[in-house]
Structure 1
């Protein structure tokens, strides 16, 4: 479709919304442990366009991504604490939905947080290290423009210094 050497504008967009449910298994004044499930609705959009505007190839796929969830919180000393929260899933698609697609996918959104509760204000300050990654590899239904093979893995590491306020 695109001649070799054609200048392209590329877009890879993967916005998502996630809904989670947690069940508290352990709770005390010094720690808590929760496990549960998440459902992520993702909208994958990949666009290739030549810079003249004559050729365009776009693929879009909206779909659900189920995941497992865990959350831990532990007080360390006085008003200091650490926490971990993670949503993750590995999916060999062929075995999950019985299709002929030989695609494997995964997501992991893991956050490690350390903080201190504030005495003067109802809230806390914290330092958060978050890994957000995932992708897919394999061959699904061949389309009009290709053989159906995809390999896309994204890895992000985010460091945040933040403050949270307890309003209610």
Structure 2
């Protein structure tokens, strides 16, 4: 009866196979970076890549990615909205932003949340290549600009 190798033995076998292949091609460090990102792939992506490997079609990866994006853009109405706030949004604010964006855009919305303490407060939205800046930083910059042009330019207005 064959005994199953331990996890540690299988891990070492996989690791040595990867290192040997990478070293023979002079790319051990590059492969390490790729390997660290591989765990982020969905099972479907891994299965598709394995099928492409079996069929010797890995040279088509860039074209598949390009067509994937094109199909997604034309067939999926979901709009990506990037929301930047000074502190993480709570559930109530997230729900308000999502609801308003879906109403205004008349489409389902996928929120990408960013935190940037440098905006001091308020909110910035980026959607379809346009930026809507209602941050405290932008408001202060506008006040500074207005004051500068009103009082420093010479005459008071």
Report the TM-score when normalising by structure 2. 0.19
Which of the pair has the greater relative contact order for Cα pairs under 8 Å at 6+ separation?
2
More strand by percentage: 1
Report the TM-score when normalising by structure 1. 0.18
More helix by percentage: 2
- Tell me which structure has the larger Cα radius of gyration: 2
